Amino acid sequence: MAESIAFFEGRFVPLSEAKVSVQIHALNYGTAIFEGIRGYYNELNGQMYLFRLRDHYSRMLANCKLIKVDLPYDVDALCALTVELIRRCGFKENIYVRPLAYKNACQIGTKLVPGADITIFAVPMGDYIPTDRALKVCISSWRRIEDNSIPARGKICGSYVNSALAATEARDNGFDEAIVLNNDGHVAEGAAMNLFMVRAGELVTTPITANILEGITRDTVIKIARQEFGLSCQARQIDRTELYLADELFFCGTGAQIAAIGSVDHRVIGDGRPGPITLKLTEAYSKIVRGMDKKYIEWCTPVYEVASVEQV
Ligand SMILES: Cc1ncc(COP(=O)(O)O)c(C=O)c1O
């Protein structure tokens, strides 16, 4: 097992030493912005690829504005720090990188005062939710947070209590995952993943104004669907009952990857197994993230200076 190291307070330290005070604003009020970035280890060429690294940090820095987090790093610096961190860790398996930009003032009171830092660490990660079978999903009784309450597009730590409630309720009730509706009753997304529906051969996903995170995997799926398979893809409001009637449904996200949905509220989707379009997209995605499709290689940041095996 590789040694775990964190970037913390401007230095690389053992992960066990990356600790904050119980007084910090982020811990007391949830005032932090996080990211989740996957690293895929390609055993064929001994290389680790960080998927859409720049896009994750661009989104993170944009989101930092929402809660007035000022970091002394730009996107280039954060990418370089992450590559250096993973190189030092030396992982030879798939990983999940967690950057966390947090309000670090030791202050009682909710006001967003200056003072912020960023920590980055990584852990080995396989499937976050099963991808080898179609999931049994429910509509959550919890509603999605609204943009004018806590913006879902912000990846703000405190707002993930909403995701935690939905995900936990689903599992407590024997489902694999939850789909969350907005207060107006239309579909938002999964607890921590975006959602796609296939109806009449067309891909449909909820729009970025539906209180969703503007997912990077969502964007990847749209691009692959159009460019690789010539599929038409639209973002529009989705009714709850359209889900029941869909030909295929799947979640997507950095953690979730592409995960087929086999039933919603006990209504079988298609034949209950991953559908043909979901399978095609999964196969393409799986190659792209491992740096095996040269057309998309610019999305893959290699970590190791010299791959341990000849490039394939
Ligand atoms: C609420 C929510 N929706 C969607 C996603 C998917 O976003 P991305 O593909 O950028 O990881 C995530 C993150 O994984 C999320 O937390």
Q: In terms of C-beta density within 10 A (0-12 exposed, 13-18 middle, 19 or more buried), how is residue 246 classed?
A: buried
Residue 297: inside a domain, yes or no?
no
Residues counted in the chain = 312
pLDDT at 305: 87
135-143/11-14 β-pairing: unpaired
Ligand 1 centroid, distance to 254 Cα (angstroms): 6
Residue 299: inside a domain, yes or no?
no
Count structural domains, the chain.
Answer: 2
Residues 224 and 269 in one domain: yes
Residues 150 and 274 in one domain: yes
- Please tell me the distance from the alpha carbon of residue 156 to that of residue 292, in angstroms, as a whole number: 33
Residues 234 and 150 in one domain: yes
11-14/5-8 β-pairing: antiparallel
Residues 49 and 147 in one domain: no
pLDDT at 2: 53
pLDDT at 171: 98
**Mean pLDDT of successive 10-residue stretches along the chain, which has 312 residues:** 84 97 98 98 96 98 98 98 97 97 96 96 93 97 97 98 98 98 98 97 97 98 98 97 98 97 98 98 98 97 75 42
Residues 258 and 146 in one domain: yes
> Reduced to 3 DSSP states, what percent helix, strand and coil does the chain have, rounded to the nearest 5?
30, 30, 40
177-181/135-143 β-pairing: parallel
Residues linked to residue 181 through DSSP beta bridges, in sequence order: 143, 187
Does the pTM of the predicted model rise above 0.85? Answer: yes
Residues 58 and 157 in one domain: no
pLDDT at 132: 92
pLDDT at 1: 53
Q: Does ligand 1 have an atom closer than 6 angstroms to the CB of 213?
A: yes
Q: To test ligand 1's pocket by mutation, which of 33, 40, 142, 194 has the most ligand atoms within 8 angstroms of CB?
A: 194
Q: To test ligand 1's pocket by mutation, which of 217, 218, 222 has the most ligand atoms within 8 angstroms of CB?
A: 217
Given the structure tokens 């703000």, which residue do they identify? 156
Which protein residue has the closest C-alpha to ligand 1 atom 16?
Answer: 192
- What residues are labeled active site? 155
Choosing from 101, 125, 149, the residue where a domain stops is 125
- Which letter does DSSP use for residue 75 in this model? H
Residues 92 and 158 in one domain: no
Residues 114 and 186 in one domain: no
pLDDT at 311: 45
CB 57 within 8 A of CB 21: no
Domain coverage including residue 39 = 5-125
Check which CATH number belongs to the domain holding 75 and give it. Answer: 3.30.470.10
Residue 104: inside a domain, yes or no?
yes
Residues 113 and 187 in one domain: no
CB 270 within 8 A of CB 234: no
- Which letter does DSSP use for residue 124 in this model? E
- Which letter does DSSP use for residue 24 in this model? B
Residue 164: inside a domain, yes or no?
yes
Residues 283 and 189 in one domain: yes
